[in-house]
Amino acid sequence: MTLGKKHPGLWAILGLGSIGSLWAGRFLDKNIPVELLFKNQTRLEAIKNNGLTIHQDKESVTHHPEDLHTCDSPGAPIHNLIITTKAQQTLPALHTLAHRINTNTTLILLQNGMGVAQEIQKQLPHNPLFLGITTEGAYRTAPHTVVYAGKGDTWVGSANMQKLAALHTLQAINQHCFWDENIHPRLWQKFAINCAINGLTVLFQCKNGELLQNKQACEQMAKICLEIENVLNKKGIQLSESLLKTASNIAERTSDNYSSMLQDFRAQRDLELDYLNAYLCREAARLNVETPHNQALVESIKQLTEARRSESTKLTNKPPFT
């Protein structure tokens, strides 16, 4: 396979976390040149020194990528940029990479949440922008080690009615990557499920499946789902069954998982909340749809986050040996 070989700098990945590392591994598996872009030197060194290891089904592969740079390093314009940062990290990350993005740079945004695409379009109105969503599951056990925990499909479509010239490369390295001519409903459906589950797992500090065993959580999920459906209805987006049913099935299927939002909360990282339930509430307000339960959920999570922050500040400021 010689895809991309004649074009150094053809592909780059921004956001070498769980999902970004899976994609990096796929390029490296096929010997397709790919540049890996890091936030800082520490992250870069972790992979430079240890390689990038991907565990799957009791097997593991370690790649030794050579083309590693921090986002602020000088470099040629990027042709195709796969963006796998968390939603709230995306604009700051793109800012540090601005010197490598020109109007020909194709941006492929592979993440959960809503609102980032509009933010990108405001900043980079002329760039071809593609949006992707995945049902794959992965998590990091170290900065250079990723567990590919759940196989799934990735769907990509255009944000601005363009064709993705490089789609064949994505499909050549991932047979479970598909084109969707109208990606927006699919993005909204995944968004709806994330809104129905993730925030509640933070509120109740539980695994996905435990939501279904908690009467209060079940009642709240039902109310939240109804509001989300009202917003989707107003936008003309159809669901094949009730959101509560889909979300409950997914919580059941992933019952032993901690949602990414709960993992981020526990690791004291920023949450994708502004691009999930908080985005839903903003969109609902624009469409004159009431979403008091989603609003209350957003407020509760913000309070929890604030409380956790001041608690950890207190601990940090504590004099030793008290």
- For ligand NAP, which is the closer residue by CB, 19 or 68? 19
Any contact of residue 51 with ligand NAP (CB under 6 A)?
no
> At closest approach, how far in Å is the CB of 295 from ligand NAP?
22
- 11, 23, 27, 38: which one contacts ligand NAP (CB under 6 A)? 38
- For ligand NAP, which is the closer residue by CB, 91 or 226? 91
Distances (CA, A) of 171 to 96, 155, 167, 174, 288: 29, 10, 6, 5, 40
Any contact of residue 226 with ligand NAP (CB under 6 A)?
no
Is the separation of the CB atoms in 218 and 208 below 8 Å? no
Encoded tokens for 138: 């992965």
> At closest approach, how far in Å is the CB of 66 from ligand NAP?
18
Query: Binding marks (x or -) toward ligand NAP, 55..84, rule CB under 6 A?
Result: ----------------x------------x
Q: Which of residues 231-260 bind ligand NAP (CB under 6 A)?
A: 260
Is position 314 annotated as part of the catalytic site?
no
> At closest approach, how far in Å is the CB of 158 from ligand NAP?
19
Number of residues in contact with ligand NAP under rule CB under 6 A: 31
The residue among 88, 73, 101 whose CA lies nearest residue 17 is 88
Q: Which one is catalytic: 190, 207, 234, 302? A: 190
**Strand 59-63 vs strand 52-56: parallel, antiparallel, or unpaired?**
antiparallel
- For ligand NAP, which is the closer residue by CB, 120 or 289? 120
Report the alpha-carbon distance of residue 91 to residue 119 in Å, rounded: 8
- 53, 80, 85, 127: which one contacts ligand NAP (CB under 6 A)? 85
- For ligand NAP, which is the closer residue by CB, 3 or 201? 201
How many residues appear in the chain? 322
- 140, 234, 282, 302: which one contacts ligand NAP (CB under 6 A)? 140
- 4, 17, 25, 157: which one contacts ligand NAP (CB under 6 A)? 17
- For ligand NAP, which is the closer residue by CB, 77 or 92? 92
**Which range in 87-95, 117-125, 179-187, 232-240 contacts ligand NAP by CB under 6 A?**
87-95
Is the separation of the CB atoms in 243 and 185 below 8 Å? no
Which phi and psi angles does 198 have, rounded to 5°? -60, -50
The residue among 151, 174, 166, 130 whose CA lies nearest residue 23 is 174
> At closest approach, how far in Å is the CB of 138 from ligand NAP?
5
CA 20 to chain centre: 9
List helix spans (H) across 258-291: 260-266, 277-286
DSSP assignment letter at 306? H
Order of strands across the sheet that contains 137-142: 59-63, 52-56, 145-150, 137-142
Report the alpha-carbon distance of residue 107 to residue 124 in Å, rounded: 10
Is the separation of the CB atoms in 38 and 71 below 8 Å? yes
Which phi and psi angles does 93 have, rounded to 5°? -65, -45
Any contact of residue 93 with ligand NAP (CB under 6 A)?
yes
Any contact of residue 53 with ligand NAP (CB under 6 A)?
no
Catalogue the active-site residues: 190
**Which residues lie near ligand NAP (CB under 6 A)?**
14-20, 37-39, 43, 71, 84-87, 89, 92-93, 96, 111-113, 134, 136-140, 260, 272
